[in-house]
Amino acid sequence: MRYLAALVVCLVAAASLAFAQTKSQPSDKFRQLEEILPTPNEYRAASGAPGHRYWQQRADYAINVELDDAGQRIVGSETVTYYNNSPDSLNYLWLQLDQSIFAKDSDAVMTQVAPDLRPPPAPPTSGWDRSPSAPLPQVPFSTIDRTLAQSTFDGAVRVTSVRDARGNPLAHTIVRTMMRVDLHAPLAPGQSTAFSIDWNYNINDARRLGGRGGYEFFPKDGNYIYEIAHWFPRMAAYNDVSGWQHKQFIGSGEFTLEFGNYRVSITAPDDHVVAATGVLQNPQAVLSQPQRARLEQAKTATQPVLVVTPNEARQNEASKPKGKKTWVFNAENVRDFAFASSRKFIWDAQLHNVEGNRVMAMSFYPKEGNPLWERFSTQAIMHTLNVYSRYSFTYPYPVAISVNGPVGGMEYPMICFNGPRPEEDGTYSANTKYGLISVIIHEVGHNFFPMIVNSDERQWTWMDEGLNTFLQYRSEQEWETNYPSWRGEPKEITEYMASESQVPIMTNSESVLQFGNNAYAKPATALNILRETILGRQQFDFAFREYSRRWKFKRPMPADFFRTMEDASGVDLDWFWRGWFYTTDHTDISIESVQLYALNTGNPEADKTMTRKGRAAEPETLSQQRNRALPKRVDQFPTLKDFYNTYDELVVTERDRAEYQKFLATLNDRDKELLSSGLNFYVVNLKNIGGLVMPVIFEIVYADGTKEEMRIPAEIWRYNNSEAAKMIATKKEIASISLDPHLETADVDMSNNSFPRRPVRSRFQLFRQQTTPNPMQQLERKQTPTTPSNP
Amino acid sequence: MRVTTFVLSVAFFVAAISLSPPATAAHKFYTSFAQIEYNDERETVEVALRVFGDDMETVLTRRHGKAIRIGKTEDAAKVIFAYVADSFQLQNRDGAAKKFEWVGMETKGDVAWLYFETKMPEGLTGATLRNRILLDFSDEQVNIVHLRHSGQKADLVFKANDSDFKKCF
C-alpha cells in the first residue's frame, strides 16, 4: 500500500521513544466527578438512589374555581393541607403565584432587553418593507404588539384572603411571583397545617402575550378556548438540596412542586366542555345521557369514540349559555393541576390498556383542529404511553389528555396543550402533521419526566426536557420507519456542537443560550450515544429504567441521575458526564497519520533484504539525478578505488549467519513463532481536536477488499486527552482506515476522519448531487427562478 | 428632560393576520444556522442555511399580506429567496454586493434547509457578511454562520443588535 510509509525499525527502540517526553499533561477529562458532585448523605445515597432517610413534603388541595367567560377571569378559593415531612421546623410557607408573570411590572416584563432600534447601516437591496426615501430602523411586529398588550393588560394575581383553619387571617407577603405565608406557630417535623386562600386574576390572551396557558379568541364565531394553568396559589417545593425552591418565575424555568391529592370543582358556562387533570366525579351532572353512553362505549372500543361530536360542538358554538355547570375532578398523587374549557370542544376517547393499567386516552379540540386531530391525537397519546412505559415504568394515572388551543406545547399532569392545526381549507403540510404528532408525544411524555420523576425545571431544564426529548425520539422512531425526527441523531447536532455561542448543559434554566439545542437536543443526543455506542442498548435500558423507578414520585437532582446510570450499568461514566454536561467541547477526532512498522526478525537474510528494498524505494534527489552522468575521478584513475569502493554492507556474511544462529539458540519456540509470524504493525496517530473524549471507531479496509470494524472505548484518551496512538497488528495489508463510519459520535468534521484523506461533501454539495429530488424539491426547483425577482 | 425622537417603521405591511400556532414543544427558541463553504474548483461560495419553517412562514406572510406556506404556497421558493436575498448579504473585499443564485430547499420536521450560491473568483478573503434572517421576527433570534475557505474556519454570530457587516476572514 503506497500511502503508508514503510519503516523498518526495531519495535523496542520505537517504544522507548515514548519515554522521551517531558512531563505529561494531567488527564483532566477523566478526573472523577466526586470533586464536583455534592457529597452523598442519608437523603441521597452514593449509588444515586434515594437515601434511607429521604423525605419530601406533601400538599393536598380542595379548590373551587369559576371561569368567567364574559370577563376572561379566574376567581378561586382553595384549602391547602400541607404536610411537613422534613426534619426542619418551618416558621413560614412559600407559595408560587406564577401567573403574576403577567403583572405590568413583573420581572419577566422588566428584564426584557430592548430590540435594536438603530437604523440599518447600508441601504436595502430591494424596497420590500422600507420607504424608498430613507432607511428606517425596523422592529418586529410581535415585539410592538406584545409591548402594547403588556402595557394595557394587568394579569397579576390578586390575593384577597389568607386564613387559617379557624378562619383567622394569616399574615402574608407577596414578592412578585412568590408569596410567603407566616404561620402563627412553627410547623414542627411530622405535623400538618391547613389554610385557605381566595384569589382572582385576568386571563392572558395567549396569542398576543404568550404564556404556558391563556385564552384564544375566535373572531368568526365569537367563542374562546381557555387553557388554564399556573392558576392557583401552589405550594413551592421545600427540599433537602435547595430548601425553599422560590426562584422567581421569569418564563423559561418552568416549575417543580410537591405531590398531593386534589379535589377541584370547576364552574363554567353550562354549554362549555371541561377537560382536566384527574377523573370526572359527576358525569351525570354535566354530560347528557347519550354522551355518558358514548363515554361508556369508549371503554371497550378499538378506536377513539366521539363523546362530544363535531355536530354537538357546532351547536354549542352557536348557543348562548343558560346558566352554569360545575365539573368536579379528583386527582391523586399529582404535582400540579390544569384544565381547559370551551364550548368549541369536540371530545374523543378510548380506553387503553398500558401494561395492565387501564387509561382513558382523550383529546379535546375545536373543529379548526380537524381533520388532523380526530385522526392522530388520541392515537399519539396511546402510542406514547406504550413506549415510555416500556422504557421507564408503567403509566400510573387513570387518564391522559391532549387539548388543542393557543399554547404551542405545554405539559401538566395527565393533561397537555398542543398547538398545531391544519390550514383553514383542511389541508396540511407534512411539517404540520409530524409537528403535531411530535408535540403530542413530547407533552404526553412529560407525564413521566417531570410530572412523576419530579425533577426541578426551575433549576435544570435538561433533567426533564432532555430525558423526555430522548424518549420522544425513540417513540417517533417506533411510530413509522424513517419518521422525520430532528432531535436525537448524532449527525443532527454537529452544527450546534461546533457553534461558539453556547453554555454547558449544566446551566440554570434562565441563563441557557440556544435553549432548544442546549436543554433538549444535546442531552437527548448524548443519551442516544450513551445507549447506542457506549453502554449498548441492554445495559443502558436497564440503568435508565432503574433511574426512572428509583425516582418515580420523588425529586431527583442531576447527581442522582449521573450516579444511578453508573451504579446500574457498572461503567464509570464520569468522563462522559463531564464532557457532555459540564463543558461545551465537541467531538472532532482526526487521523493525523498512519505508520507501518515491520518486525526486526534478527535474520540477516530477511532484514538486510528489507533494508535494501527500503533504500531502493527512497527517491533519488534532483542533484543525485543530475550528478549521475558526470565523469568521476575514481573511474578515470581506478587505482584510487580500494576495499570500500566495492564493500556492500548489506551482503549477508558468514559472521552474520553465525550471530543469527547464536541468537536463535537463545529463543524459545514461542519467541521463534512470533518472529516468523509476518505481522504488520500499523500505528494510527489520532488527535482530539474538538476536546470531547469519545470512543474511537475504526473501519479498516484491507488490500484484499475485506473490512473490519474496531471499537475502542473512550479510555484510550485517559493518559493524554489530546493525542493517542493505536497499534493494529495484522498479517494483511491495510488499504484505508476511517473513523466513525456509522455517524454515531457527532464528529463535527468528517474531512479528517479518513486515511488516506477522502474528500467529504458538504450539505450543499450533497443536496446538489441528489439524483432523485423528493416531490417537494421537484416542485420547488420547477417553480424557482434562478435570480430573485425585485418587485 | 429633552428626549430625542426617532421614527420607527414596523416590519410589516398589513395588519396582524391570524396564523396557525407554531409546532413547538414547551419552549420556543429562535436560531438559524448557515454553513458557507468556498468551492475552489467551481470558484463559488456555497451556502446551506437552516431556519425554522414556521418562523419563516410568519415573516413572509406579514411581508406579503397573504398566507405563505412552505410546501403549499405555489411560489413559496421565490418568495423565500427574495427574502433571503434581502437579509443575507455578502460583499467582496472591495465592498461590492454579491448576488446569490437559488439552488433549492428541503424540509425536515419544522426545519427548512435553503441552498444558494454565488460565483466569487476573488474568494472570501476580506469579504464581509450580514445575516439579518428572521431578526425582524423575534428579538431573541440568533443567526450562527460557519465559514470554511481553503482549510480556514471561522464562526460569525448575528443577534438583534448586530446590523453591521462582519468580516469573514
Note whether residue B12 is domain-resident: no
pLDDT at position A17 is 40
Helix (H/G/I), strand (E/B), else coil: A7 = strand
CA distances to A283, A303, A308, A512, A734 from A288, in Å: 8, 22, 10, 49, 77
CB contact under 8 A, B86 and A124: yes
Q: Which of A113, A431, A520 sits opposite B110 (nearest CB)?
A: A431
A6, pLDDT greater than 70: no
Residue A115 has a pLDDT of: 57
What does the pLDDT average to over A639-667? 90
Residue A35, SS3 per DSSP: helix
**Residue A486 to residue B110, Cβ atoms within 8 A:** yes
pLDDT band per the 50, 70, 90 thresholds, residue A607: confident
Q: Taking a C-beta distance cutoff of 8 angstroms, is the pair A754, A722 a contact?
A: no
Q: Give the model's confidence band at A136: pLDDT under 50 very low, under 70 low, under 90 confident, else very high.
A: low
* pLDDT-based confidence at residue A502 (cuts at 50, 70, 90): confident
Best A146, A784, A787, A790 residue to mutate vs chain B (most B CBs within 10 Å):
A784
Whether B72 is covered by a domain: the verdict is: yes
A570 touches chain B (CB under 8 A): no
Q: In terms of Cα–Cα distance, which of A333, A93, A339 is closest to A233?
A: A93
Contact B111 A514 (CB under 8 A): no
Q: How many CB pairs under 8 A join A and B?
A: 253
What are the cell numbers at A680?
504488520
Give yes or no for residue A770 having a pLDDT over 50. Answer: yes
Tell whether B64 is covered by a domain: yes
Q: Domain range holding B105?
A: 50-114
The pLDDT, as a whole number, for residue A764 is 84
The reply to whether A631 touches chain B by the CB within 8 Å rule is no
pLDDT for the residue numbered A676: 79
Q: Which residues of A238-263 are buried (b: 16+ CB within 10 A; e: fewer)?
A: bbbebeebbbbbbbbbbbbbbbbbbb
Closest chain A CA to residue B63: A129
Identify the helix (H) or strand (E) that includes residue A577.
helix A574-582
A231-244 tens-digit pLDDT:
999 999 999 999 99
On whether the CB atoms of residues A727 and A735 are closer than 8 A, the answer is no
d(CA A301, CA A296): 9
Poorest-pLDDT segment among A57-61, A113-117, A469-473: A113-117
| More confident of the two residues A496 and A364 | A364
CA distance B8 to B77: 30
Listed as ranges, residues in chain B with pLDDT below 50 are: 1-6, 8-27
Lowest mean pLDDT among A123-127, A212-216, A486-490, A623-627: A123-127
Split into its structural domains, chain B has a count of 1
Would B99 be classed as within a structural domain?
yes
Long-range interactions of A644-652: CB distance < 8 A, separation 24+? A650/A608, A650/A611, A650/A612, A651/A608, A652/A604, A652/A605, A652/A608
**What pLDDT shows up at residue A1?**
42
Say yes or no for a CB contact (<8 Å) between B78 and A130. Answer: no
Is residue A356 predicted with pLDDT exceeding 90?
yes
Q: Is residue B14 in some structural domain?
A: no
Assess A708–B contact: CB distance below 8 Å, yes or no: no
* Residue A295 in this model has a pLDDT that exceeds 50: yes
Residue B157 lies in a domain: no
Residue A575 has pLDDT above 50, yes or no: yes
What mean pLDDT value characterizes chain A? Answer: 89
What type of residue is A36? I
Question: Is B27 inside any structural domain?
Answer: no
Contacts of A769 in chain B (CB under 8 A): none
Which pLDDT does position A700 carry in this prediction? 96
Instruction: Look at residue A734 in the predicted model and tell me its pLDDT.
Output: 92
B118, closest residue in chain A (CA to CA): A787
C-alpha distance from residue A142 to each of A251, A420, A764, B62, B138 (Å):
17, 19, 33, 11, 7
Which of B5, B31, B119 is the best residue to mutate to test the A interface, defined by the most A CB atoms within 10 Å of its own CB?
Answer: B31
DSSP state of B20: P
pLDDT band at A27 (very low <50, low <70, confident <90, very high): low
Domain assignment present for residue B66? The answer is: yes
Nearest CB among A122, A472, A500 relative to B155 is that of: A500
Residues A126, B85: C-beta atoms closer than 8 Å: yes
Q: Is A169 on the interface with B (CB under 8 A)?
A: no
Question: Residue A486's pLDDT band (boundaries 50, 70, 90)?
Answer: confident
Asked if pLDDT for residue A22 goes beyond 70, the answer is: no
DSSP letter at A568 equals H
Q: Which of A61, A363, A316 is nearest to A197 (CA)?
A: A61
Q: Which residue of A has its CA nearest to B134?
A: A140
User: In chain B, count of helices (H) and strands (E)?
Assistant: 2, 10
A514 in contact with B, Cβ within 8 Å? yes
Q: Which residue in B has a C-alpha nearest to residue A206's C-alpha? A: B21
Rounded to 5°, angle at Cα A647 from A642 and A651: 165
A462-477 and A372-391 helices cross at what angle (nearest 10)?
110
Q: Which of B8, B19, B27, B35 should one mutate to test binding to chain A, selecting the residue with the greatest count of A CBs within 10 A?
A: B27
CB contact under 8 A, A439 and B12: no
Asked if residue A207 has pLDDT above 80, the reply is yes
A145, A436, A465 member nearest B23 (Cβ): A436
Judged by CB atoms closer than 8 Å, whether chains meet at B109 and A438 is answered as yes
| Average pLDDT estimate for A258-286 | 98
pLDDT at A10 over 60: no
Q: Which pLDDT score is estimated for A140?
A: 61
Q: How many Å lie between the alpha carbon of A128 and the closest alpha carbon of chain B?
A: 8
A464: nearest CA partner in chain B: B26
Q: What mean pLDDT is predicted for residues A569-574?
A: 97
8 Å CB contact of B23 and A432: yes
**Taking 50 as the threshold, does the pLDDT of residue A74 lie above it?**
yes
pLDDT of res. B22: 34
Query: Which residue in B29, B103, B165 is closest to A515 by CB distance?
Result: B29
Phi-psi region of A472 (alpha: psi -120 to 50; beta: other; left: phi over 0): alpha
Tell me what ipTM this predicted complex has.
0.71
Please tell me the distance in Å from A72's CA to the nearest CA on chain B.
20
> Is residue A130 over pLDDT 70?
no
Is residue A784 scored above 70 in pLDDT? Answer: no
pLDDT of residue A289: 97
Q: Does A242 touch chain B (CB under 8 A)?
A: no
Chain A residues within an 8 Å CB radius of B150: none
Which stretch of A135-139, A253-257, A554-558, B79-83 has the lowest confidence by average pLDDT?
A: A135-139
